[in-house]
Structure 1
Amino acid sequence: MLRNPLDAAMAGDALSDLLKTVRLTGATFFDIKAQDPWAVCSPAPSSILPKILPGADHLISYHVLTSGRCFARIIGKEAIVVEAGEVVVFTRSDPHIMSSNPDLRADPPPADVLEIASASQKPFHLNYVSGEGSISAGLVCGYLACDALPFNPLLEALPPVIKAGDSKGDAGWLGQFIKLAVSEVAQKRAGSETVLTKLSELMFVDVLRRYVESLPPQQTGWLAGLRDPHLSKALALIHDRPAHNWTIESLARESALSRTVLAERFTRLIGIPPMHYLAKWRMQIASELLSTGNSNIASIAADIGYESEAAFSRAFKKMIGVPPSAWRLGVRAASGSGSDEAPETEGEPRNELID
């Protein structure tokens, strides 16, 4: 689970808070050595998720090219070139193929290979080299799992594919990750699985940072909001103190903006009004506490700013589609149920955000 590494690297910011709350966790499954021609197809997310983070509903795939050159493509889409020293991340884990030629096809690995891989010491080694042929590409491939529901604005802000790195050598964290990953795979030292898991989580953070820095000035969305110093402050305040009795005025004051400017800029860049965001963030925290902790519902209600269990339960069911007790048991709302709306909270009693 991505706790201490992120806390040390990015303490106190909205991205760190989000990644902790949606339970981002990594796993490295495959070390691949290949000889031309070769092609590898991604397995179905449903076959991987239960092995990484039981109960999670979103899978992210990544491939680090440690040597050679290859092509990466979502099935039905255009291929992109990946050079040694680069990483390609499929943020929605769409069915994709890594190959020596962009036109090659491949089938997903059989179920028994995934079972053996998940039960063995990671990374699991796959050899696509025949006879005395030379290795044309080396990859470290793995996965990250997280919660998409009830509220993960990061996932909505990411494109399906992100490529990062520097084929000519990268002195930054991503370059160090690739060097360490190669070393861990080659030396097979005790604890390599844990080291690679944590490295993959930090690698993803660095990929996100690079993506944010590359966004054009006119870009909107949650990640674009992180670049705005005032909105970044507002998001951090909401994340750090979700139980606080926030109003537009108090949030604007602490973000060094006027009430009107904060409301307009937040809604334009983030996509929803600040108080709506607060309501959804509170429910995201509550859903994690319900799924992973032993606190009773009244305690959870108090932790996110509700003065009564009844008010919290009504709000949770209205937004999520099922009562808190059902969510704790693993019941999820049917598609289309629940409400994605939350009214502004000004003038309303504290904690009655969406009643």
Structure 2
Amino acid sequence: MLDLLSTTPRPVAGDEKGPRDLLTEILLGLRLDGVEYGRCVMQAPWAIDFPAQRSARFHFVASGGCWLRTPSRDWVRLNPGDAVLVPRGSAHTLASAPEVPAVDIALLGRVPVSDNIYLVDGHGARGTQAVAALDVATPSDVMFCGTMRFNLDPLHPLIAMMPEVMLAGELAQRDPTVPALLEAMEREVSLDRIGACGIMARLADVLAASIIRAWVECGCSTSSGWVAAVRCPRIGKVIAAIHADPERDWTVPMLADLMGASRSRFAEAFTRTMGESPAKYVAKIKMFQARRWIADDGMRIAVAADRLGYDSEASFSRAFKRIIGHAPSASRGGQAWARTAALHSSRISSASSRQ
């Protein structure tokens, strides 16, 4: 598991800039870990659909090349040495050429290499000529793909405001760590040494973290909304407290005291900056925490309701469904989340198109 911004510089004694940036405080708690990885050796023509999922996806093009498309983005060419992170696990397609009919990734078999690493076996797929082999006579498109999990809900404000797709090449010039890691992955692939897949998996974790750090430090610095609010010394202090302790029974008077303002001035300033009332924001963060407990930890709904201060499981379930879009019990499966994520992604795309 990686501390996403563990290498972020920390203020030193005597630093005239004052307390650490509150956004950094929140980001220091953002972690991710690799769930599984696969080495894919594909022979054209081929195309694979990756359906929406709760976890992020990562792709590194080792050799050959491919095309990438998402519902809101037209085909983009990926060349050898390119890497892409899909932070919210949005649906997307990879193909040797845009016109090739795609096959769902679930139809491709897997040959296990270790506990969380596999080779793609495409012999059973229809509509592609994917080949699971590490040494083929004809030119191949070789990719290293992975699934990663954040310790934040995919609809958390920070994750939600990330681009649908994050291309390493677009951030490489802003962060020297990114091209260095890409080069390390290319070398590891070309050497094809024992244990290469395991090393590639660890490099992929670090590269994904570096991509997000580069975006946070360079790409979203001018963003409005949530990031701007967090960086506001007064509102940011309140947001940081809510995220640090979502189980606490936060009230408007408590939050107003944190900001150092009257209840009315605090509520007006918070709503104007965030676009929603303090009570709604607190409830949303609580439900994000609850969904992680239920989906990832298998926590009972009654226990989650009690920990978050709800008087009954029924009232908690009503609040959960109102905010998340489905009943708490549905969080134990993936289909309800996929529908919610798709709806949320469409809202983000619509909002972006209006800006």
**Structure 2 residue 269 is the aligned partner of structure 1 residue 273:** no
Matched-pair contact (CA < 8 Å) for 1:26–1:197: yes
| 1:14 aligns with one of 1, 16, 26 | 26
Which of these residues, 88, 93, 96, is aligned with residue 90 of structure 2? 93
The answer to whether residue 70 in structure 2 is matched with residue 74 in structure 1 is yes
Partners in 1 of 2:116 and 2:333 — Cα distance? 33
Q: Distance in 2 between matches of 1:287 and 1:236?
A: 20
What is the match of residue 219 of structure 2? 214
State which of 100, 103, 116 in structure 1 corresponds to 2:111. Answer: 116
| Residues 293-342 of structure 1 deviation map (CA, whole Å, 9 limit, x = unaligned) | 587777655643x2xxx6152431121249xx9739948998999xxxxx
TM-score by length of 1: 0.63
Q: What secondary structure does 1:26 align onto?
A: strand
Q: Give the residue type in structure 2 aligned to 1:286.
A: A
Give 5+ residue unaligned stretches, structure 2.
Answer: 9-22, 121-131, 341-355
CA distance in 2, matches of 1:199, 1:226: 30
8 Å contact kept, 2:174–2:214: no
Q: What TM-score do you get using the length of structure 2 for normalisation?
A: 0.63
Partner of residue 48, structure 2? 41
Instruction: Pick one of 327, 330, 353 that aligns with 2:329.
Output: 327
Q: Are the aligned partners of 2:171 and 2:215 in contact in 1 as well (CA < 8 Å)?
A: no
Pair 1:225–1:166, CA change in 2 (3 A): same
Alignment of 1:152-171 (within 5 A): 152-165=156-169
Match of 2:315 in 1: 315
Rate the CA distance shift 1:40–1:170 in 2: closer, same or farther, 3 A. Answer: farther
Give the alignment partner of residue 139 of structure 1, picking from 138, 143, 153.
143
Moved more, 243-252 or 109-118: 109-118
Query: Which letter does structure 1 place at the counterpart of 2:83?
Result: V
1:248 & 1:320 partners in 2: Cα distance?
21
Change (3 A) 1:128 1:235: same
Deviations 1:240-260 (A, max 9, x none): 122444333543443567766
The structure-2 alpha-carbon separation of the partners of 1:217 and 1:289, relative to structure 1 and needing over 3 Å to count, comes to closer
* Deviation (angstroms), 1:69: 5.4
Q: Deviations over 1:66-114 (max 9, x none)?
A: 4565432236852223344442233443231243x5x442422675633
The answer for the alignment partner of 1:342 in structure 2 is none
Alpha-carbon separation, structure 1, partners of 2:334 and 2:116: 33
Counterparts of 1:127 and 1:40 in 2: how far apart (Å)? 17
Alignment partner of 1:26 is 2:34: yes
Q: Residue 5 of structure 1 corresponds to which residue in structure 2?
A: 3
Cα offsets for 1:257-313 (capped at 9, x unmatched)? 776665455435544322222122223323433455587777655643x2xxx6152
**Are 1:64 and 1:85, in contact at CA under 8 Å, matched by a contact in 2?**
yes
Partner of 1:107: 102
- Contact 1:28–1:196 (CA under 8 A) maintained in structure 2: no
The 5 Å alignment of 1:239-254 reads: 239-254=243-258
2:66/2:94 contact within 8 Å kept: no
Task: Give 2:319's aligned amino acid.
Answer: M
Any unmatched runs of 5+ in structure 1? 46-56, 338-355
Identify the residue that residue 207 of structure 2 maps to in structure 1. 203
**Residues 128-180 of structure 1: per-residue CA shift (max 9 Å, x gap):** 996355x6x65322223569979533453233322233697786333343244
CA distance in 2, matches of 1:226, 1:256: 16
148 and 9 in structure 1: CA distance in 2 versus 1, 3 angstrom threshold: closer
Q: Which amino acid aligns with 2:329?
A: W
Distance between the aligned counterparts of 1:41 and 1:252, measured in 2?
51
Matched, 1:58 2:54: yes
Tell me how far 1:124 sits from its aligned partner: 1.9
Q: Distance in 2 between matches of 1:106 and 1:334?
A: 27
Give the superposition deviation at 1:12.
7.7
Q: 1:320 to 1:207 in 2, by over 3 A?
A: same
Aligned residue for 2:311, secondary structure, equals helix
CA distance in 2: counterparts of 1:289 and 1:200, whole angstroms: 26
| Seq. identity, % | 20
